[in-house]
Amino acid sequence: MASDNFVDYVKIFCRSGNGGSGSRHMKREKYTPKGGPDGGDGGRGGHIILKGSNHVWTLLHLKYQKHIKAEHGEPGRGNLMTGAEGSDTYIEVPVGTIARDAETNEVLFEISEHDEEVILMKGGRGGRGNNHFKSSVNQAPEYAQPGEEGSEGWCILELKVLADVGLVGFPNAGKSTLLSVVSAAKPEIANYAFTTLRPNLGMVEYRNNQSFVMADIPGIIEGAHEGKGLGLRFLRHIERNAVLLFMVPADSDDIKKEYHILLDELKKYNPELLDKDRLLAISKSDMLDEELMSEIAEDLPEIESIFISSVSGLNMQQLKDMVWKTLHK
């Protein structure tokens, strides 16, 4: 069985650092007994920063670290010395991570590159020292600004599946087998439902050294939109421009019907999924002879379809051409 250490969703509580307070120091030196205000500014509080990394693949490392804090800034001091900034706290996340405000569910931003840094929670500004508040009427202000407080709140981090093609099908349709044949990925394959529990990604080499990424996701079942099974959960955040490749096995009793059940689950889950381009592959077609194939071809859903077999290799290149053409149309 696939291990469940593929964590693609975490809720974390973040608190950025408070700004340090400004100083109210008065200059007092041997020859300048009334030197006036020389209080420095407080240091800024530490930010909480998300940083994209190619070295992490999941959000597992955040699953058990729910509270993340950054340091407070130091107060300003005399002689116009600014307080030290609170150090920032970096959270390493995989490329393709989306940050949301947990309260409003609003998407804040997305990390799309290695080393990209975005502030998730800003540290408080340091307060200004009394030196700034000197005026013609008050040459020796006893006042300095307090540091601004840091922010705190719950955030959601979610991982998108960065793929160009998503395989959509009932369990056992042959999705993982297809991925294993067209890419170097080695997903688990077995003759039972729900072999795949987390997405497998594979790079499909295409003509002229071009390539696209295919995602094999867990099988989708009737009632999936009500939370049954896992497949739709991953489909939720597949790349915006991805093509959906539906897979229905050749030995299905009713290919058209099966396709429509899948489509219906997608629609009930999130109608926006229907905005994606769709293709249909009739898998395991090595089980068909010419006659059966043309009989089935008479009654297919009205989308671009192709008979394939990962076992015999039937139409593998044609399938890639079809996907490529759809991705680049």
Interacting residues with ligand GTP (CB under 6 A): 169, 171-177, 189-191, 193-196, 218-219, 283-284, 286-287, 309-311
Smallest separation, CB 185 to ligand GTP (Å): 12
- Sheet hosting strand 305-307, strand order edge to edge: 200-205, 211-216, 165-169, 243-249, 278-283, 305-307
Task: Name the residue with the smallest CB distance to ligand GTP.
Answer: 219
Query: For residues 196 and 305, which CB has a smaller minimum distance to Mg ion in the complex?
Result: 196
Smallest separation, CB 1 to ligand GTP (Å): 11
Query: For residues 53 and 196, which CB has a smaller minimum distance to Mg ion in the complex?
Result: 196
Rounded to the nearest angstrom, the gap between the alpha carbon of residue 99 and the centroid of all alpha carbons in its chain is 8
Query: For residues 24 and 278, which CB has a smaller minimum distance to ligand GTP in the complex?
Result: 278
Query: For residues 121 and 288, which CB has a smaller minimum distance to ligand GTP in the complex?
Result: 288
- Does residue 195 belong to the site contacting Mg ion (CB under 5 A)? yes
| Chosen from ligand GTP, Mg ion, none, partner binding at 198 (C-beta under 5 to 8 Å by type) | none
Smallest separation, CB 104 to Mg ion (Å): 36
The residues that bridge with 183 in the sheet, in sequence order, are: 204
**Beta carbons within 10 angstroms of residue 51's beta carbon:** 17
Helix/strand/coil for 116 = coil
Rounded to the nearest angstrom, the gap between the alpha carbon of residue 43 and the centroid of all alpha carbons in its chain is 33
Report strand pairing: 243-249 vs 165-169: parallel
Smallest separation, CB 197 to ligand GTP (Å): 8
N residues, the chain: 329
Query: For residues 130 and 283, which CB has a smaller minimum distance to Mg ion in the complex?
Result: 283
| Chosen from Mg ion, ligand GTP, none, partner binding at 323 (C-beta under 5 to 8 Å by type) | none
Q: Please check whether residue 246 is in contact with residue 259, taking contact to mean a CB–CB distance below 8 angstroms.
A: yes
Helices 175-182 and 316-327 pack at an angle, to 10 degrees, of 90
Which residue ranges make up the site for Mg ion (CB under 5 A)? 176, 195-196
